[in-house]
Amino acid sequence: MAILEVKELRIQYTRSGPEILKGVSFNVEKDDFFAIIGPSGAGKSTLIRCINRLVEPNSGDVILNGNNITRMGNRDLRGARRSMGMIFQEFNLVERMSVMDNVLSGRLGYVGTLRSFLRWYPKSDIQRALELLEKVGLGDFVDKRADELSGGQRQRVGIARAIIQQPQLLLVDEPTSSLDPKIARDVMEMIKTMSREAGVPVLCNIHDVQLALDFSNKVIGLQDGVKKFEGPTGTVDQSTLEEIYAMEIL
């Protein structure tokens, strides 16, 4: 059974504007690491953000473990978003907060804003945060402010924050675009390892085709909002890439 079902997803930002997504459908299974690839402007980030309704689709359905996200009111949506961890392109950390507090903010949906503000987290959450920081190589950075970290270190904090949510699905939006190639590969390895350990499927928008092919087991290719390809990573060949990137200006 699919963890995530996306059915005929469509979006346009203005009534007279172009469609950004044009009837995109696919399923994500429990053990999947899905890479979304395609030219700039293909709709990759929009697709990721439609899943948890950071962007509102005009039509279509997003179903997570049998629950239709697109039909939910605000209260139910807040609960559903706890089930979807997200790793952002620009890290989305609170710069003045410590590494530990940024990781623990992943528990906001469970402890509430007031307890978070007062730092009244359960001991189990604090212990889990420490364990995750050790796993991402930041065990010695617990009290460092986020604005003292490098880009790679910030993304590691973002990974730990997403995993501590105990999500049913991990959404990853361009996690390596601002990182050098060595750090980018390390970050992708970390995302894959930790998602596997947590038993969480991944849906990852990524601009680097080689990284996408190296770390995913399935690929979606978007071009101008249309799904041009979906299949196992091993079936992606040069002709497939040429079709997906046919509109890319080189």
* Sequential DSSP letters for 94-117: -TTSBHHHHHHGGGHHHH-HHHHH
What are the tokens at 168? 């049913």
- pLDDT band for position 111 (50/70/90)? low
**What CATH code is carried by the domain that includes residue 64?**
3.40.50.300
Range of the domain at 19: 4-244
Task: Indicate the pLDDT class of residue 190, thresholds 50, 70 and 90.
Answer: very high
Q: In the predicted model, is pLDDT for residue 16 greater than 90?
A: no
Q: Cβ(158)–Cβ(194) under 8 Å? A: no
Domain membership flag for residue 54: yes
In a domain, 250, yes or no: no
Establish if 126 belongs to a structural domain. yes
Q: What is the pLDDT of residue 250?
A: 43
Stretch 188-207: mean pLDDT, rounded? 95
Could you tell me if residue 137 is inside a domain?
Answer: yes
pLDDT band at 91 (very low <50, low <70, confident <90, very high): confident
Q: Is the pTM of this model over 0.85?
A: yes
pLDDT for position 89: 85
Give the per-residue pLDDT at 102.
93
Has residue 212 been placed in a domain? yes
pLDDT above 70: residue 68: yes
Question: Nearest Cα to 104, choosing from 72, 81, 133?
Answer: 133
How many domains does one find in the chain? 1
Q: Looking at residues 176-190, what average pLDDT do you find?
A: 92
Judge residue 224's burial from the number of C-beta atoms within 10 Å of its C-beta, 0-12 exposed, 13-18 middle, 19 or more buried.
middle
Note the pLDDT of residue 115: 58
Nearest Cα residue to 33 out of 241, 154, 175, 155: 175
In a domain, 249, yes or no: no
Residue 109 lies in a domain: yes
Alpha helices in the chain (DSSP H): 44-51, 74-81, 99-104, 108-111, 113-117, 123-135, 151-164, 181-198, 209-215, 238-244
Q: pLDDT at position 217, please?
A: 97
Instruction: Check whether 7 has a pLDDT greater than 60.
Output: yes
Structure tokens that stand for 133 in this block: 């920081």
Percent above pLDDT 90 for the chain: 79
Cβ count within 10 A of residue 32 = 20
Q: What residues are paired with 59 via a beta bridge?
A: 10
Provide the pLDDT confidence category of residue 15 given band limits of 50, 70 and 90. Answer: confident
Answer yes or no: is 192 within a domain: yes
Query: Is residue 11's pLDDT more than 60?
Result: yes
